[in-house]
Structure formats: C-alpha cells, structure tokens
C-alpha cells in the first residue's frame, strides 16, 4: 500500500516542481533536471511494484505510457545540436496544425547570438527549458549528465553531450570542478530575474 501511495504522489510533485520551474530562473536548474529526475522516479516506482498485484499491473501500464511520452518529448524537442539549430533558425512561425514543424511557435530571433559561435560542429545537449514561444538555450550540467546516468538520452545523444563538454572544456570546466550552467546571467537578464540582488552576481548565478 505504501508503494501505491508513493506512486500516486509522483504526479502532484512533478506538477508542483514544474510550476516552480516556470516561475523562477534559478529552478531551470537542469535542461530540466526536474524532467530527468521525474523520468528516473517513474522507473524506480515501476520496479518497486509487486509483480502479482492486479492493481500494480494497471499502474505499470500507466507508467510505461507516461515514460514513453516523456522520453519522446525530451529526446525530440529538448535536444539541440548544430543541425537542429539551423533548422530552428529557418522555422516558419504561426503554424497551427497537427503537422506543424514549429510546434512551439519559436521565433528565429529568439536564438541567442552567442550560440552560433559556441555550439561545436560535433556534439549537442539538452536545452534548459522549453515553453510556447520560448527556449532557454543555456547548457545545464546537472540535467545533461543525469540524462546520461538515467538513460533518458539515447546512446548517440549521450556521446554528443560528452563530445560537447570536451570541445567546450574551457567554458564548462575551466579552473573549476564543473560549472552548473553556461552562460551565466549577466547585465539586464541578471537585473530583471534576480532584482539586482548583489548576492546573485553572474559569477555564480545559474
């Protein structure tokens, strides 16, 4: 019974964390580390269910359905490499149909200028966040690395994440053990999101 209660609590928790994530720049602390952890939590919950329990079998079907949808959504829409970047830059906007290529109505002007020079020819990563008409292109170390550990990334994507980290070693590692995200907020973004909080300077604000 405790296992069933644990599983039932996963979905409200995910909704709550996603709500927080949408309200706070600091809680985009992953490509979605939240999505990666949610995916892993569902897998753990599925493995903990009693095999012979009829209710558990129904729950397993629901979990498998959610895992499949989540896996497709993250791998398809959160992934960014040079090919995908060029595709986004040529998106048509205001497409409203089931077969629309630009499903989230992303405007090419939203592509951060630093990204074209920064992203290597070989390699890729999961972006920070994705909402209608908005993409957070920052690289979040925790979410990307956990996507490899938790099998959320495909084998090719996992290799590309590591290729990118090696190619951008100076930016992502430098003289530090590991930077949480790149690039950090600065200037107007820092003032708007943190309220010019001096404790959250661009040196360590993710």
**190 located within any domain:** no
Phi-psi group of 183: left, alpha or beta (phi > 0 → left; psi -120 to 50 → alpha; rest → beta): beta
**151 located within any domain:** yes
Find the helix or strand (DSSP H, E) in which 134 lies.
Answer: strand 134-140
Q: What is the pTM of this model?
A: 0.73
pLDDT at site 16 = 40
Domain that holds residue 136: 2-164
Q: Count other C-beta atoms under 10 Å from residue 130's C-beta.
A: 18
Residues 6+ apart with CB under 8 A from 138: 28, 127, 128, 181, 182, 183
pLDDT at site 26 = 44
**199 located within any domain:** no
Q: Count other C-beta atoms under 10 Å from residue 185's C-beta.
A: 20
pLDDT at site 107 = 81
**144 located within any domain:** yes
pLDDT at site 179 = 75
Of the listed ranges 60-69, 85-94, 177-186, 191-200, the one predicted with least confidence: 191-200
pLDDT at site 201 = 57
**38 located within any domain:** yes
**128 located within any domain:** yes
In the beta sheet, which residues pair with residue 124? 81
> CA angle, corner 168, sides to 164 and 170, nearest 5?
155
Tell me: the pLDDT tens digits for 107-166? 888 888 888 889 999 999 998 877 777 788 888 888 899 899 989 999 999 999 999 999
pLDDT at site 196 = 62
Tell me: the pLDDT tens digits for 4-62? 443 443 444 444 444 444 444 444 444 567 888 889 999 988 888 877 777 888 888 99
**8 located within any domain:** yes
**169 located within any domain:** no
User: 35 exposed, middle or buried (CB, 10 Å; 0-12, 13-18, 19+)?
Assistant: buried
pLDDT at site 108 = 81
Tell me how many domains the chain contains.
1
């Amino acid at each position: 019974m405790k296992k069933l209660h644990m599983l039932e609590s996963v979905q409200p928790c995910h909704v709550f964390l996603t709500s927080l994530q949408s309200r706070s720049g600091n809680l985009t602390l992953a490509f979605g580390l939240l999505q990666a952890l949610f995916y892993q939590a569902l897998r753990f919950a599925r493995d903990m269910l009693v095999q012979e329990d009829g209710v558990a079998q129904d729950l397993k079907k629901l979990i498998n359905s959610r895992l499949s949808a989540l896996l497709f959504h993250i791998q398809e829409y959160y992934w960014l490499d040079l090919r995908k970047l060029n595709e986004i830059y040529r998106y048509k906007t205001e497409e409203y149909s089931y077969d629309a290529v630009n499903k989230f109505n992303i405007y090419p002007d939203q592509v951060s200028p630093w990204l074209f020079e920064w992203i290597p020819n070989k390699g890729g990563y999961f972006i920070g966040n994705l909402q209608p008409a908005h993409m957070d292109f920052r690289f979040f170390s925790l979410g990307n690395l956990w996507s490899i550990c938790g099998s959320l990334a495909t084998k090719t994507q996992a290799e590309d994440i590591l290729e990118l980290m090696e190619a951008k070693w100076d930016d992502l590692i430098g003289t530090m053990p590991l930077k949480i995200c790149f690039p950090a907020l600065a200037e107007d973004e820092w003032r708007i999101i943190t309220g010019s909080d001096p404790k959250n300077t661009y040196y360590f604000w993710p």
